[in-house]
Amino acid sequence: MSLNAESTAFRSALEVIRAVEPRVADAIGAELADQRESLKLIASENYASPATLLAMGNWFSDKYAEGTVGRRFYAGCQNVDTVEALAAEHARELFGAAHAYVQPHSGIDANLVAFWAILADRVESPALKKAQVRQVNELTEADWFALRRELGNQRMLGMSLDAGGHLTHGFRPNISGKMFDQRSYGTDPATGLIDYDKVAEAAREFKPLILVAGYSAYPRKVNFRIMREIADSVGATFMVDMAHFAGLVAGKVFTGDFDPVPHAHIVTTTTHKSLRGPRGGMVLCGPELADQVDRGCPMVLGGPLPHVMAAKAVALAEARRPDFADYAQRIVDNAQALAEGLTGRGAKLVTGGTDNHLVLIDVTGYGLTGRQAEQALLDSGIVTNRNAVPQDPNGAWYTSGIRIGTPALTSRGLGTAEMDATAELIHTVLTQTTSGESKAKYVLDPALADKVSKQASELLTGFPLYPGVDLG
């Protein structure tokens, strides 16, 4: 039997790897098998296409390419220029952005580029102007001292971690919480929704240099027009981190007031998650910040990863196809069906439902911590992650919530009927799990876990993962 191109490519790659380190080849094959058999409900994960995956395994990995297109610090970067320019072109067209910077290695890197671009653009000082026109190694200790004084202690207002924000929006252990004098806005205790009047009040009182919007565990839309108005009212730069919902923006599910690109001064994102590309980051902005953003390397980034930029170009080209808009809408339809299936069975959801790709379950109603629920579900073939809920009594480690999302299962083709069945499996596990003697320990009948795991596997039978890839 002749193999198709995808099977041939991946089989050949594993044979080459196996000849050097068979344990790595085995782990790669085992990962595909595990993903094929599990209900992947981690909201930040997805399945990149074979073309995107293959674009990362090539000779671009061997090339240094510090600088930007046409302005490299290394010779021989003409092919890197081609793929970086293509990735940036697709990003601009896909999101309607004036400028796209596709070098960041991750979402955190993208946020760091944005933070420093804003600081460099907004903070005026002789030392900063000197830094912009001189090589870094020419700056004296006095220059650096002056820069630290000018760039330090600037203020940032972002969404709190327990309300659904991200650790890079000012969480103290993260570099963002150390770079900035930071304050957080939360959500209404009764509804779990953003109270824009409260955000405006906090902005007027705190007067931040940067107002950050975006989330990692907020199950509703954000009105970016209102947030921009708040930023403008205090003279703040408005930054949006759309890493989680970039696919919904690309697929035109989020438009108008809910599309951040027309409203924000600068937008950051990852290229995986709902965008279904390789692991990496990206920054979108207008011309006024473009020069500063393009200095991301060497300001905070190491050398670009040309093989990943090639994969970004492929994934962004895929996202410009008409079928991606249908995919993005099905993500939301599935998330809402999953939420309805859970609430119909008595689960308590933060905000009572969802407008986007994720659902946040408050598992205290089951008598569990998030960590207990996460592991019990994993034992049962359902992959999720624990997550804090607003005013979480268990803190950020044990948590009181489980975050689930639908991008990955939607990529496999599951629909709303399968989401209801998934809700039943989740509810079954959580109702049959009891708390142990600590916030981490729990009791779940192994026979039940095995039964649910088999049911999860059966649910996936009609929706094969990478059906064109046969590893033999």
Cα 384 from Cα 398, distance rounded (Å): 14
Catalytic residue among 220, 273, 295, 386: 273
pLDDT in the model for residue 272:
96
Closest C-alpha among 398, 403, 385 to residue 438:
398
Cα Rg for the chain, rounded, in angstroms?
23
Signed CA dihedral, 233, 238, 243, 245: sign only: positive
Q: Are strands 210-214 and 237-241 parallel, antiparallel or unpaired?
A: parallel
Cα 422 from Cα 405, distance rounded (Å): 12
Could you give the dihedral angle defined by the CA atoms of residues 215, 329, 41 and 465, in that order, rounded to the nearest 10 degrees? -140
Active site residue 183: no
pLDDT in the model for residue 472:
85
Active site residue 279: yes
Q: Determine contact, residues 260/285, Cβ cutoff 8 Å.
A: no
192-213 in b/e form (b: 16+ CB < 10 A) is bebbeeebbebbeebebbbbbb
Catalytic residue among 220, 279, 295, 371: 279
Provide the residue count of the chain.
472
Low-confidence ranges of the chain (pLDDT < 50): 136
Active site residue 424: no
Q: How many CB atoms lie within 10 A of CB 255?
A: 11
pLDDT in the model for residue 330:
98
| Domain positions in the chain | 59-319, 325-460
| CATH superfamily, region 325-460 | Aspartate Aminotransferase, domain 1 (3.90.1150.10)
Global pTM?
Answer: 0.91
Sequence-separated (6 or more) residues with CB below 8 Å from residue 122 = 209, 237
pLDDT in the model for residue 2:
67
Catalytic residue among 18, 36, 37, 64: 64
Q: Which CATH architecture has domain 59-319?
A: 3-Layer(aba) Sandwich (3.40)
415-447 in b/e form (b: 16+ CB < 10 A) is eeebbbbbbbbbbbbbebbebeeebeebebeee
Active site residue 345: no
Distance from CA of residue 97 to its chain's centroid?
19
Q: Determine contact, residues 275/284, Cβ cutoff 8 Å.
A: no
Could you give the dihedral angle defined by the CA atoms of residues 91, 96, 99 and 104, in that order, rounded to the nearest 10 degrees? -40
Catalytic residue among 45, 241, 379, 392: 241
Catalytic residue among 37, 66, 181, 424: 66
Active site residue 66: yes
